[in-house]
Amino acid sequence: MKSAPTAPHSDASTEFEALLARITACDATVAIIGMGYVGFPLALATHAKGYHVLAYDIDASKIEKLNAGKSYLKGISDEAIGNMVKEGRFVASHTPADLVKADAIILCVPTPLTKNREPDMSFVVATTQTIAEHLRPGQLIALESTTYPGTTTDVMQPMLEAGGLKAGHDFYIAYSPEREDPGNGLFSTHSIPKVIGADDAKSRSLAMALYSNIVTQAVPVSSSATAEAVKLTENIFRSVNIALVNELKMVFEKMDIDVWEVIRAAATKPFGFMPFYPGPGVGGHCIPIDPFYLTWKSREYGMPTRFIELAGQINERMPGYVIDRLREGLDLHQRKGLNGSRILLLGLAYKKDVDDVRESPSMIMFEKLQDYGAIVEYHDPIIATIPHTREHGRLTGLHSVPLTEKQLATYDAVLIATDHSSIDYGFIAQHSQLVVDTRNATHNVADKSRVIKA
């Protein structure tokens, strides 16, 4: 791994020019902290542009796999990691002292919510403290984790300056929100434009130089807080529109109108309409969480966010609505209740064709159905075993059951929670006693006599 010159006593202007030159020439070392769904693809994209990459994570098992050329995420092959290791410009580490070698350090760490639906900044704070202990003059620090406006300036910067170095003079700090969309084959890390925000011109120019080399387009904004607000706005937009169609789904169902048909027809309008689709709730690391970062921060200014909070409430009630529809279906078709019924939950991931269960409504419905006395099993072609999660520990270690005609016959109902592309929904409808479809996965099925929408 290439070591950058430390030059602790050199002129700050000279250091800045030297750092800018290394970044522009793709001759810098970039440390990426957090080798998850954001940091892992970013490491690949950064390495592909010629940079030396230091992949950092506190999970020693991830580091061992990376250095051995092994992948642990769906969509990233062992070959891709192995090639990086062989080329000699990539190394993975969980040793904090190695961060001093980096010219730029990018944080891709989780920003979840607490049990009280408030921002959990513990990962950002702990990581920033680690960086601060090894910070040297002439480094660029960039945060990518989704957070509330002011985090970079009010939380990170004071911690980094506590050792005597000053932002914008001795070191540089910026915010560039991640825009990963796992499972989306149309866009990659490289092809998605990046928003770049910083509070001083030098920090902004360095971050622009770095990201301009990694992605197709870097979009500068006036401050880190503005960039933080951009990310929240993007995901609040999605949350609000998903809540709208979820509410329409419930209303139209009472009118015996198929919301999916309505949306499909409305989407033919070439202006003034953008299709969003209902489901059993929202999941992943963004939509269920990010809006609450702004609602929390807005209280500081005495500004209620009733519209955003209402959207969150609608989306949060959807797993319960789906279970109510399942209960109605069992009563109508099977003449039985949930207690004692055998239910197959089809799909655990929060969206199709990914292996991510973070904030997945499937996990919520799994536990709710168990609480009602149902006997629940699941099938997911991508998630063979349920991983440990903080919220759903009792489901840890359960295994996906086979999807066979004989197996389907044992269930009173199949609940389609995730519409994975590899599943034959015609087969499901043909061999199941009852199908509750939350994703319109059975829209092409000829015989829908045992299918209800939810």
Give residue for tokens 């005597």: 164
Q: What number of H helices and E strands is found in the chain?
A: 14, 13
> What DSSP element (H or E) covers 312?
helix 306-329
Instruction: Fill in the amino acid letter for 417.
Output: A
Count of other CB atoms within 10 angstroms of residue 375: 16
Specify which residues 452 forms β-bridges with.
436
Contacts of 387 (CB under 8 A, 6+ apart): 357, 396
List Cβ<8 Å contacts ≥24 apart for 8-14: 8/136, 8/137, 10/137, 10/138, 12/137, 12/169, 12/170
Q: Dihedral of CA 129/170/146/294: which sign?
A: positive
Question: Does the annotation mark 26 as catalytic?
Answer: no
Q: What is the 3-state secondary structure (H, E, C) of 12-74?
A: HHHHHHHHHHHHHCCCCEEEEECCCCCHHHHHHHHHHCCCEEEEECCCHHHHHHHHCCCCCCC
Contacts 24+ apart (CB under 8 A), 333-336: 333/433, 333/434, 333/450, 334/412, 334/413, 334/433, 334/434, 336/412
Angle, CA of 267, 271 and 277, to the nearest 5°: 30
Angstrom distance (rounded) from CA 70 to CA 180: 21
Residue among 23, 109, 165, 286 flagged as catalytic = 286
- Please, which residues have CB within 8 angstroms of residue 201's CB and are 6 or more apart in sequence? none
Closest listed residue to residue 381, CA positions, set 425, 412, 343: 425
Strand partners, 143: 107, 175
Which residues are catalytically annotated?
286
